[in-house]
Homo-oligomer: A and B are copies of this chain.
């Protein structure tokens, strides 16, 4: 009982001070997050009283639990459904914000003469806005239900995904020192593959498992199961060299499709609140106020750049995507701060030892300042729009108005399900099935060293081991391969119908259509085979055996074709059901 006293003392200091601070900052009507950071600075080693914390490592570890719960909660609020609703506008706005802020950050860093790695990380730190701060600010101002708020949440979701891609890319750059286009494409491709497969498999498995658990009506069971899934998945993600943050976010997004979403949110909230408080305190712990004074000038410049840059980039993006000027201004003013992701990126730089020590306190200071301004900026959006509207020259206002009208006239034309949307849908389905096939072959390849030694007990011949493994992967992926073939076929039929018109092809119309609709699927399956062979090169059997395997597989396929179609259809239906189910209130 007594060996943890140092730890309990640390926790007591952190929680007691956090408790005082949360009340104080609420009284001052300031975001509590700032209070936690201030508490961290007070406790921390740079300000008197010194040495309030004995075992900083343990507190840091608890702070990391805070990141896990924070990202998990963000994932729970993420929803593919919501994303589709605000889709295009959110993507345009988020992309224009991130690209512009990356560039501004990099330029500012270079202008101050910092190393290119520092400048790059500064760009990344400035790119992403803070979901936590925005959600709190909007709900405190009572604006959470307005339509511009929905758009902001959409932008934040897109930003979260892009931030995760950025985390992966930054780790890559930091380790290799450079970023070739090829590496970037492969890295992002892997990430996309991993996310797609995780989401599909996860949404098939996890909500069903949770439904089963939830039947017992025991909060304890549900919570422990949720945590088991959460940490289990985080472990898998970490083993694949991605960050814990990504894992927690993804498993959260998967559970967001569960019928018991609201119960889960309720159970996780106390854990998130307690540990995110510790996380924000640990941010303060690392903050040396002396550095802030030394870097007062860059902090001021960067703060101004974040506020102006985000209003312009995100506002302009929203406007270009077809929203009116008032909405654009409100969106821009709302996202004009940086937060938790900036800390995660800054500490990534520190952990990988590629950024200078001053970058972290600068990120914290800029986040604190921009967070402070957020509520005032949101409130200032409407008056500012009015004043701008009055001050704007009439011609310019006319141009803007016409742009909006033109864009709206474009979008009304595409109301019914067109050929384009049907094609897009089939291609998406093919891509998802291909991702699953690729994942199966990759998993079997990666597990080859372990399963190989296991198979070694029965067969010593290495090529035969490969045959067994490759066959297993092939059989497992058969339902998806069949699905790819069938979708390719229907795509080909559709294309043949459209592209070969009797007017031009005359009496060959039917023949050419048949040729296309038969040829395209076969050619695509050859392409699929080449892709699979490339992915599974480490377990690909020698040519002779490979042909034997393929022949056997073809025979097997003829037998189980209908079963494959059935099982795939069942999975598709299950996925759609989970997806379309509304969470219980």
A: residues with CB less than 8 A from B are: 1-5, 7-9, 11-20, 22-23, 26, 32, 58, 60-61, 64-65, 67-68, 212-213, 216, 218-221, 223-232, 234-235, 238, 243-245, 267-271, 273-274, 277, 344, 347-348, 351
Known contacts A231-B8, A231-B12; decide if A348 and B1 are in contact (CB<8 Å): yes
Known contacts A1-B64, A64-B4, A220-B22; decide if A9 and B235 are in contact (CB<8 Å): yes
B351 and A219 contacting across the interface, CB-CB below 8 Å: no
A223 and B348 contacting across the interface, CB-CB below 8 Å: no
Complex CA gap A293/B306 in Å reads: 67
Contact of A235 among B12, B19, B351 (CB under 8 A): B12
Smallest CB gap from A21: residue in B:
B224
A12 and B232 contacting across the interface, CB-CB below 8 Å: yes
Count of this chain's copies in the oligomeric assembly: 2
A270 and B273 contacting across the interface, CB-CB below 8 Å: no
Contact of A11 among B19, B231, B277 (CB under 8 A): B231
A225 and B4 contacting across the interface, CB-CB below 8 Å: no
Known contacts A1-B348, A7-B61, A60-B4; decide if A273 and B224 are in contact (CB<8 Å): yes
Contact of A16 among B22, B220, B232 (CB under 8 A): B232
Contact of A216 among B26, B68, B228 (CB under 8 A): B26
Contact of A270 among B15, B219, B221, B230 (CB under 8 A): B219
Complex CA gap A565/B16 in Å reads: 34
Interface centre among A1, A235, A271 (most CB of B within 10 A): A1
State the 6 A-B residue pairs at the shortest beta-carbon distance, nearest first.
Answer: A19-B228, A12-B235, A12-B231, A16-B232, A220-B273, A19-B225
Contact of A271 among B67, B274, B351 (CB under 8 A): B274
Contact of A219 among B65, B219, B220, B269 (CB under 8 A): B269
Complex CA gap A244/B11 in Å reads: 13
A60 proximity list for chain B (CB < 8 A): 3-4
A26 and B58 contacting across the interface, CB-CB below 8 Å: no
Complex CA gap A8/B62 in Å reads: 10
- A122 CB → nearest B CB, Å: 18
A235 proximity list for chain B (CB < 8 A): 8-9, 12-13, 16
Smallest CB gap from A9: residue in B:
B235
Complex CA gap A245/B2 in Å reads: 11
In the complex, 13 of the A-B residue pairs with CB atoms within 8 angstroms, ordered by the A residue number, are A4-B61, A4-B64, A8-B238, A15-B224, A15-B231, A16-B232, A18-B227, A18-B228, A22-B220, A22-B224, A26-B221, A267-B270, A271-B274
A271 and B269 contacting across the interface, CB-CB below 8 Å: no
B277 and A1 contacting across the interface, CB-CB below 8 Å: no
A230 and B267 contacting across the interface, CB-CB below 8 Å: no
Known contacts A8-B244, A26-B216, A271-B274; decide if A224 and B58 are in contact (CB<8 Å): no
Interface centre among A13, A23, A268, A344 (most CB of B within 10 A): A23
Smallest CB gap from A275: residue in B:
B271
- A527 CB → nearest B CB, Å: 38
Q: With A19-B229, A270-B271 given, can you name 17 additional A-B contacts, CB distance below 8 Å? A: A1-B64, A1-B244, A4-B244, A8-B231, A8-B234, A9-B238, A15-B227, A16-B229, A16-B231, A18-B228, A23-B225, A26-B216, A58-B61, A219-B270, A223-B273, A224-B277, A269-B270
- A70 CB → nearest B CB, Å: 12
Smallest CB gap from A352: residue in B:
B2
Complex CA gap A234/B218 in Å reads: 29
Complex CA gap A250/B581 in Å reads: 45
Smallest CB gap from A167: residue in B:
B1
Complex CA gap A23/B213 in Å reads: 7
A15 and B228 contacting across the interface, CB-CB below 8 Å: yes
A22 proximity list for chain B (CB < 8 A): 220-221, 224-225
A228 and B20 contacting across the interface, CB-CB below 8 Å: yes
Known contacts A8-B234, A235-B9; decide if A1 and B224 are in contact (CB<8 Å): no
A228 proximity list for chain B (CB < 8 A): 15-20
Complex CA gap A231/B9 in Å reads: 8
A232 proximity list for chain B (CB < 8 A): 12, 15-16, 19
A243 proximity list for chain B (CB < 8 A): 1
Complex CA gap A404/B248 in Å reads: 62
B223 and A274 contacting across the interface, CB-CB below 8 Å: yes
Smallest CB gap from A227: residue in B:
B15
Complex CA gap A244/B245 in Å reads: 33
